Amino acid sequence: MRGGLKRPLRPWFASVVAAGSLALTVSSAAARDPGGSSLQKAIDRVLDRPAFAPGFWAVEVRSLRTGRILYARNADKNMKPASTTKLVTTAAALDAFGPDDRLRTTVETAGRLDGMGRVLSDVYLVGRGDPNLSGRFTDGRITAAFEDLADALKAQGVRRIEGRLVGHEGLFRGDRRGDDWAWGDLVWWYGAEVSALGFNDNSADLKVTPGERAGDPVLVERNPVSSYYRLVSTATTSPAAMTSDLRVDRPLGSNLIRISGTFPVGLKPWENSVALEDPARYAATVFAEVLAAKGMVVAGAVETSSDPMPGGLRVLAAHDGPPLSEVLKGVNKPSQNLHAEMLLRLLGARLKGDGTVESGHAAVEEFLLRSGVHPERWSLQDGSGLSRSDILSAHEMVSLLAAMDRHRYAAVFRDSLPIAGVDGTLKNRMKGTPAEGRVVAKTGSLRHVNALGGYVTPRSGDRLVFYMVSNHNPGPGSEVTGAMDEICNLLVGR
């Protein structure tokens, strides 16, 4: 006891005093943090389950009203964040560009349009980082933006392009893929190459349906139907009682998609999207095909360029993408890697004059420092969290989330996050529990990595900010996410 005592207390009296002091301490803490001790114990019981013993947890929960930390475990330790990295990228983009910013794609030329409807030079399809040249905002019409551009050209009397059609992607530079992405990721939509000019998430959408009877070829639907890539299927339909061994692959360096194996009668169709190589060429090729379908011929080759644009260009047609507020929803709710990577490079291009990952991270670091976060304690290699080398701490992530809750665009940021039991990657989590609709948070998952960070509105009304991440737990990911959902329900009931 501080200051000591002149003579020792009798043991029974000492016990009463100690108990009284403890009671006063707990009572005082409870006044500031009602149920705080019970909350800590309840969370500990979840995290200390034997199933989680081989791995590591990092958790922090903080009151947004008082700033008080209500729970912390390993909060200063760096952990792999997976897709919760997108919280960092989207926060920085929102701060820099504002919710109403739109990204413009243009068709430009330096050539003359003659009286016969011919453009007497090359035509450039210029990408400026719009990640939504797709059917996301057009009821699934993936070529809608290109159709609008083509209609604008036709309205001006364009009938033929005598030169080349060039897909220009010079706004972004450097590697098209993130550092330390896994080889297995690169075939699928979530590992697609990054370019300032892309189309349909730089992927081809596939749907495979079994035939009517065993031995029949499977039915394969693809979108878009384009000459840019080839699809070869040798897959057949198997009896209903058999297990599917359908295989889909695309050799790296090619745009040949191969489907093989068997697919049982009556099984629900398989749907996925396969990433394609060289996104700008893909976009330009599909645009040329749209032009041809509308009666406009491209006489020259379809090519791509990252070189400085030639002088004397004028805009023939333009397409504005959705506002950034909608772009952010397209990143955070479904956890779209490509869009996050494009935003990172766009931060570099606009704020640093250099559309690289490195310049994007420099811009993000300046934003974090202004927000009271300490990025020097982190190491991020990409903008999406697909890199296995990303590391950050729960404490600094909570600091970022708390700062964004005070941000002038706080509501826009929160609205971009999945809602428990309602939409995005949380649509099927916490459904039918007290946490449904009361938790908005970004998920993250890689092999042996699960994370969740965002905001909780408890029944008490005292809003909370939290971040929790599990690394190296070898059990099913569903056990880890289930534990996270339990903790969210504990926070709601606080």
Active site residue 83: yes
460 has catalytic annotation: no
Q: Who contacts 413 (Cβ-Cβ below 8 Å, separation ≥6)?
A: 90, 91, 94, 328, 404, 407
Strand partners, 389: none
* Euclidean distance between CA atoms 190 and 335, whole angstroms: 9
Which residue's structure tokens are 């697609």? 192
**Separation between Cα atoms, residue 484 and residue 453, nearest integer Å:** 10
Catalytic residue among 63, 80, 83, 325: 83
Amino acid found at 434: P
Q: Name the residue type at position 309.
A: M
Does residue 86 have an active-site annotation?
yes
- Region of 437 (left: φ > 0; alpha: ψ -120 to 50; beta: rest) is left
Q: Determine contact, residues 111/100, Cβ cutoff 8 Å.
A: no
Pair type for strands 230-233 and 297-298: unpaired
Nearest to 208 by CA among 258, 251, 254: 258
Q: Which DSSP symbol is given to 376?
A: G
Nearest to 342 by CA among 320, 360, 368, 322: 360
Assess contact for 453 and 445: CB atoms under 8 A: no
Query: Which of these is catalytic: 335, 359, 399, 416?
Result: 335
Q: Which of 63, 80, 86, 203 is catalytic?
A: 86
Taking residue 98's Cβ as centre, other Cβ atoms within 10 Å add up to 14
**Residue 30: CB partners within 8 Å, gap ≥ 6?**
36, 37
* CA 328 to centroid of chain Cα atoms: 9
Q: Which of the residues are catalytic?
A: 83, 86, 335
